[in-house]
Amino acid sequence: MSVKPIKKSHKLDNVCYDIRGPVMQKANQMEAEGARIIKLNIGNLAAFNFTVPEEMEQDLAKNLPNAAGYTDSKGIFGARKAIMHYTQQKRIKGVTLDDIIIGNGVSELIGFAMHALLNVGDEVLIPMPDYPLWTAATTLAGGTPVHYLCDEDNEWNPSIEDIKSKITSNTKAIVVINPNNPTGALYSDEILQQIVDIAREHNLVVMADEIYDRVLYDGHSHTSVASLADDVFFVTMNGLSKNYRACGYRAGWMVLSGAKESASGYIEGLVMLASMRLCANAPGQHTIQTALGGYQSIDDLVAPTGRLARQRDLAYQLISEIPGVSCVKPKAAMYLFPRLDPKVYPIEDDQSFVLEFLEKEKVLVVQGTGFNWHAHDHLRFVFLPIEDELREAIGRFAKFLKDYRER
């Protein structure tokens, strides 16, 4: 008797998340066979010996006995209060406890944001390149991702012209990832204001992913796009994964602000989705108040002599020295997104290119198309390893490219 194959649903047909896709699976297989691979593919700070602030760890342990039950679906009071205060520091007006939903990381909330809003055929403007979960979640929710260009020649700022040209009567929302993964860009207030003006004119929800808002170099400061208007509806996301090096705590939040009255139906949908999954991971929630209230952030690491700043400088310098490779220096986050000049490196398929680099040099990076970039000419490097390891990894990259040029 033949067995009927069990297939994945059609809902997943066009859903891609290449950061943990075939290239990572290949690396896992190579490791299982004994290879030692330098992994520059995932922004997971703990894997590179960045530690969670001690007070957060202590609070996690201390609160464990209180964390066995379900919590309010929106999250525990103390955590939401601290998030509310954080919105005040970021000058986002009028946020009450009721406007905050805590989730199992921003990842879960990105899904909520899309599922609660989109009907089949609705379009969402998403940056290109993007953090690919935004595109994947839009597609999974039945929407259509429409990518707007971020301009490498203008420090990877969003192209306002391109955004305007892509708005249709079906456009429902615009996603703003600032600071940006994968480019490390930090958008100017002028650009943010122009995006807000477009959202107002076309009645778009602004979905702001600000998870790197404290991972800022060179004394830069961050403006929350939601602080720029009261008459546009904003969903702002943030969490503990990056600013507090606590990816595994799975604690993120969404803040609803601005034109809330006009979005009451959508908010009802968000609350319904939060209720259906009962609550977010309770132990993680118990560390949010400490994280946001104390001297806990990433400030020391991003200061000019801090570990992250030094690693950024080194990685940027070494990558920029390679012939035919150029890179915009990141102002924020923990990634470099260099360009390989197609005249020097005529790459036809960047995934195959990354696989070949992995197999030959045992270094794992992610191909630019994995971030919905339109051409096969970019790669993303995480600069989380210590300086010696970065030197080794980028040295191997330079060697790989030299061999490529001499083919």
Residues that bind ligand PLP (CB under 6 A): 43, 105-107, 131, 177, 181, 209, 211, 239, 241, 247, 252
What DSSP letter does each residue of 301-344 carry, written as one string?
A: HHSTTSHHHHHHHHHHHHHHTSTTEE-PPPSBSSEE--EE-TTT
Q: Least CB distance from residue 211 to ligand PLP, whole Å?
A: 5
Q: Which is nearer to ligand PLP, 105 or 258 (CB)?
A: 105
Nearest approach in angstroms of CB 133 to ligand PLP is 6
Smaller CB distance to ligand PLP: residue 114 or 177? Answer: 177
Nearest CA-CA partner of 147 in 169, 170, 123? 123
**Shortest Å distance, C-beta 93 to ligand PLP:** 24
Closer CB to ligand PLP, 226 or 325, in the complex: 226
Token pair 């993007």 is found at 130
In the complex, the smallest distance separating the C-beta of residue 225 from ligand PLP, rounded to whole angstroms, is 14
Complex with ligand PLP: residue 336 or 401, whichever CB lies closer: 336
CA geometry: angle 231, 232, 238, nearest 5 deg? 125
Nearest distance from C-beta of residue 53 to ligand PLP, angstroms: 17
In 3D, which of 392, 331, 48, 381 has the Cα closest to residue 182?
381
Q: How far apart are CA 203 and CA 223, in angstroms?
A: 22
Residue where the block lists tokens 């570990």:
307
Smallest distance from the beta carbon of 223 to ligand PLP, in angstroms?
17
Taking 3-state DSSP, the helix, strand and coil percentages for the chain, each rounded to the nearest 5, stand at: 45, 15, 40
State the minimum distance, in angstroms, from the CB of residue 181 to ligand PLP: 4
- For ligand PLP, the closer of residues 27 and 247 by Cβ is 247
Residue nearest to ligand PLP (CB): 105
Q: Report DSSP state, residue 6.
A: P
- Closest C-alpha to 178, from 221, 122, 241: 221
Nearer to ligand PLP, 290 or 345 (CB): 290
Report how far residue 135's alpha carbon sits from residue 397's, in angstroms, rounded to the nearest whole number.
Answer: 29
In the bound state with ligand PLP, the residue whose beta carbon lies nearer, of 239 and 385, is 239
Q: Give the whole-angstrom CA distance, residue 326 versus residue 338.
A: 6
